Amino acid sequence: MIKTGIVGGTGYTGVELLRLLAMHPQAELQAITSRAEAGTPVADIFPNLRGHVDIAFSDPNDASLTDCDVVFFATPNGIAMQHAPALLEAGVKVIDLAADFRFKDAALWEQWYGMTHACPELLAEAVYGLPEINREAVRDARLIGNAGCYPTAVELGFMPLIENSLIDLERLVADCKSGASGAGRSATVGLLMSEINESVKAYGVQGHRHLPEIRQVLTSLAAQPVGLTFVPHLMPMTRGIHATLYATLKNTDVDLQALFEQRYRNEAFVDILPAGSHPETRTVRGGNNCRIAVHRPQDGDTVVVLSVIDNLVKGAAGQAVQNMNIMFGEDEKAGLDGVALLP
């Protein structure tokens, strides 16, 4: 059994991680910390866990996280970097669900996240936790910067096109739609039911933190600079991301459907839908899947990729468990074979 710990489990990625670990046949939850909720049984805050998770939150200072095999950070940006060095030194593997270890360039991270990085020396070693790109590196990693939610949907959608040099890299567009859980469980007027329900809006058009993350990954795939316009939108729903990707094909003779199917034929969690399909976010609700459809409208030279994930699963907690499975030599699908909940 893998002994797991969670730092900061009172948010939505935390409860989702708890749900997945509770159903995982090879994982065992040793400790979960929360300064604010120390002493409170986890299931008091998230009653869906009653009967499945029996432990209480413990104070970060009291928790013996060093006894764990792996510690997940389901904390805001800037927390994991303060604690990762000591845990790594104690031989504990670390998976950060926030952004502290997603960037190779500390200066870039500091510019977008507005903080000084506490351990920039670890960035070279840290592995970007998107298994479909980095499986081998994940296998050997001590430290994972779990891929972001929007980035997962966008990168998996663009990857086959970039790897095969099929598109003009100067002008990519990623128009993304997310449910409200992606913004977290913080007491903010902008996240109230009465503010979000029955409305759609874009946000962060001038620059969202997932832009440099996606750009870094696509640039690395392309081995050249990539020009990307990324516009996230807030949807009146709780879970789900729908990325709609636009690019100009350099060559329209390629069978895009076959290309995508081929690229992902061995990937358990990436599902290429039949030609002409339109994936719905509800088909991945609660599941660790990314479902993708590829279109070339009116047989022109614009390719449109539709890519959906559950932001809390393949976009966060599920991906973290997938990374853990790989790191510990388990079946990559262990604990992740639940069928998405529809309707």
Provide the annotated active-site residues: 149
- Using the CB atoms, write b or e for 69-96: b if 16+ within 10 Å: bbbbbbbebbbbbebbeebbeeebbbbb
Contacts of 50 (CB under 8 A, 6+ apart): 43
Instruction: End-to-end CA distance of the chain: give it in Å, rounded.
Output: 34
The stretch among 89-97, 99-107, 155-163, 242-250 that binds its own copies (CB under 8 A) is: 242-250
The verdict on 55 binding its own copies (CB under 8 A) reads no
**Chosen residue from 205, 252, 258, 331 binding its own copies by CB under 8 A:** 205
The verdict on 249 binding its own copies (CB under 8 A) reads no
Cβ 316 to its own copies, closest distance in Å? 12
The verdict on 39 binding its own copies (CB under 8 A) reads no
**Chosen residue from 107, 115, 202, 258 binding its own copies by CB under 8 A:** 202
User: In a 3-state reduction of DSSP, which class is residue 8?
Assistant: coil
CB nearer to its own copies: give 110 or 195.
195
CB nearer to its own copies: give 200 or 258.
200
- Pattern of binders to its own copies over 94-133, x per CB under 8 A? ----------------------------------------
Cβ 209 to its own copies, closest distance in Å? 13
Cβ 287 to its own copies, closest distance in Å? 7
User: In a 3-state reduction of DSSP, which class is residue 301?
Assistant: coil
Separation of alpha carbons 204 and 202, rounded Å: 7
The verdict on 225 binding its own copies (CB under 8 A) reads no
CB nearer to its own copies: give 110 or 175.
175
Cβ 137 to its own copies, closest distance in Å? 26
- Please give the angle made by the CA atoms of 174, 233 and 200, to the nearest 5 degrees: 140
The verdict on 185 binding its own copies (CB under 8 A) reads yes
Cβ 51 to its own copies, closest distance in Å? 7
DSSP string, 196-233: HTT--EE--TT--THHHHHHHHHHHHHTS---EEEEEE
The verdict on 25 binding its own copies (CB under 8 A) reads no
Q: For residue 1, give the nearest of 31, 30, 32, 41 by alpha carbon.
A: 30
Contacts of 105 (CB under 8 A, 6+ apart): 123, 216
